[in-house]
Amino acid sequence: MTGEPHQSAGRTSDADAARGFWSEAWKRFRGRKLSMAALGFVFFLVFVATFAPAIAGTKPVVCRYKGTIYFPCLGYFDRTLEPVIFSKDRFRGTYPANLAEKDPESWAVWPLVFQDPYRAVRENEWPGEPANPARDQGKPSARNLFGTDQYGVDVFAKMVHGTTVALLVGFVSMGLAGTIGITVGATAGYFGGWVDMLASRLIEVVMCVPTLVLILALVAFVDKPSIWKTMAIIGLTGWTGIARLTRAEFLRLRSSEFVMAARAAGAGPVRIMLKHILPNALAPVLVPITFGIASAILIESSLSFLGFGPPPPSVSWGSLLNDARSNLQMWWLVVFPGMAIFLTVLSYNLVGEGLQEATDPRLREARK
C-alpha cells in the first residue's frame, strides 16, 4: 500500500514491531494520498481560523498610534482585546481615515483583504474604494471575491471568520462526546453486570430519541443561544456510538492477560482502565470520533440553516446558507459556503477512513 517494494516479508514485520504501533500507523496513513491531502486541508483551516483577522478585516494587524504599537485586529477574537484608546479617540471602528487624521505620524499593517465580516464597507472607507454593493447586486468581483450578501457584507470575510466556528464545533463537541462516550463505555465494559445493564439502557435511550428532536428540544430549552451552547448540545447527544465501541473494546480486553497481570500487581480499577486498557482501545475509538467531527459540523450547519443556530453577530457557514434560501438568484451565497461545508466534511471523513485503514489490522489483512 505504501508503494515501496516488499523485499522480505519476515524482515519488514520485525521492523514494524520494533517501530511501535502509532509510528507504524502514521507510516501507513502517509501512504494514502487522499487522506494526507484531507489532513492538509484541515491544517489549512486551522491556519485560516488562527489568522482570520489578518486575512480579512478592517482593523489594522499592527499599527503605531501616538507613539505606541497596538494590535487592533485582536478585537475580532474578543471585543475586550481591542485597545481602549481607539474607542476613547472616537474611531468608531473606522481606522484608515481616523489614523491618518488623528496622528499623521502613524503607520499600520492592514489585513490582506480590507473587508469586514459584520458590516458593509462604506464608500471611501479605504481611500478611493467604492461602497460594497447591497441587495442582489453583489456578484463576486475583484473587490468582493465571493460576492456580498443582501446587506452588502462581504461573503469572503464572513467565511474566513466563520472558519473558527466550523473548527471549534468539531473539536469541542467531539471532545465532550468523546469524554462522555469513553467514560460510559469504559465503565460499562469493565465492570459489566448491572452497571453494564444500566449504561446500555442509557445508550439505547439516547440513541432512540431522534437526534434532531433532542437537539431542537435542547436548543429551544437554552435561554440565550450561543455557539458554545450549540457545541455542548451536539456533544451531549453525539456520544452513543463512541460509548458502544469503547464498551465492546473494554469487554474484549478486560479478561486479557496483561489486565490480569496488572490486577495481580495490585493496580486499582481506575488505573487499569486508564493506563492499561484505554491505550489499547484508543485506535478503534478514534475512528468514530473523527467521523463524529464531520457529522458535528454537518449538524451545526444544518441547525444554523434551519434558523436554530447561534444569533448574530457570530458568523457560521450554515447561517450564510440560511440567508441564501430567500435569495436563490444570489447563487454565490450558496456555492461558496456550501462548498466550504462540503470540503470540510469530506476531509474529516477521509482522515477518519485513513485512520481506520491505518490502525485496523483486520482491514490490513483484507487488502493483502
Partner 1 sequence: MVSYLIRRMVLAVITLLMITGIVYGLARAMPGTPLTVAIGETDPSRKLNPADIERMKKAYGLDKPWYTAYFVWAGNVVRGDLGRSISRKQPVATLIGERIGPTLALSGSALLLTWMLSIPLGLYASARSGAVDERAVSFGLYVLYSFPTFVAALFLQIIFAVWLRETAWELPLFGMRGDGYSTESSWLARTADVARHAILPVICQSYVSLAWYSRFIHANMQEVVRQDYIRTAKAKGAGPWRVLVHHAFRNTLIPLVTLLGLSLPALLGGSVIIEQIFTWPGMGRLFFESIRERDYPTIMGLTFMFSVLTLLGQLVADVLYAWVDPRVSVE
| Interacting residue ranges for partner 1, rule: CB under 8 A | 34, 201, 204-205, 208-210, 212-214, 216-218, 220-221, 223, 294, 298, 301-302, 305-306, 321, 324-325, 328-329, 331, 334-335, 338-339, 341-342, 345-346, 349-350, 366
Task: Report in angstroms how near the CB of residue 329 gets to partner 1 at its nearest.
Answer: 6
- CB nearer to partner 1: pick between 160 and 294: 294
Q: 263 is written with which cell numbers?
A: 490486577
Closest CA to 190 of 255, 244, 240: 255
Task: Report in angstroms how near the CB of residue 192 gets to partner 1 at its nearest.
Answer: 18
Q: 144 is written with which cell numbers?
A: 468582493
- CB nearer to partner 1: pick between 222 and 270: 222
- CB nearer to partner 1: pick between 80 and 329: 329
- CB nearer to partner 1: pick between 72 and 318: 318
Task: Report in angstroms how near the CB of residue 331 gets to partner 1 at its nearest.
Answer: 5
Closest CA to 312 of 225, 239, 254, 218: 225
Task: Report in angstroms how near the CB of residue 345 gets to partner 1 at its nearest.
Answer: 5
- CB nearer to partner 1: pick between 271 and 325: 325
Instruction: Provide CB contacts within 8 A for 146, sequence distance 6+.
Output: 140, 154, 155, 156, 159, 332, 336
- CB nearer to partner 1: pick between 220 and 260: 220
Alpha carbon distance 284, 297 (integer Å): 21
Residue 129 DSSP one-character state: P
Task: Report in angstroms how near the CB of residue 312 gets to partner 1 at its nearest.
Answer: 20
Alpha carbon distance 361, 368 (integer Å): 11
Cis bond before residue 313 (omega within 30° of 0): yes
Question: Which residues are bridge partners to 368 per DSSP?
Answer: none
| Spatial contact of 16 and 6, defined as CB atoms under 8 Å apart | no
Task: Report in angstroms how near the CB of residue 202 gets to partner 1 at its nearest.
Answer: 9
Q: 367 is written with which cell numbers?
A: 487488502
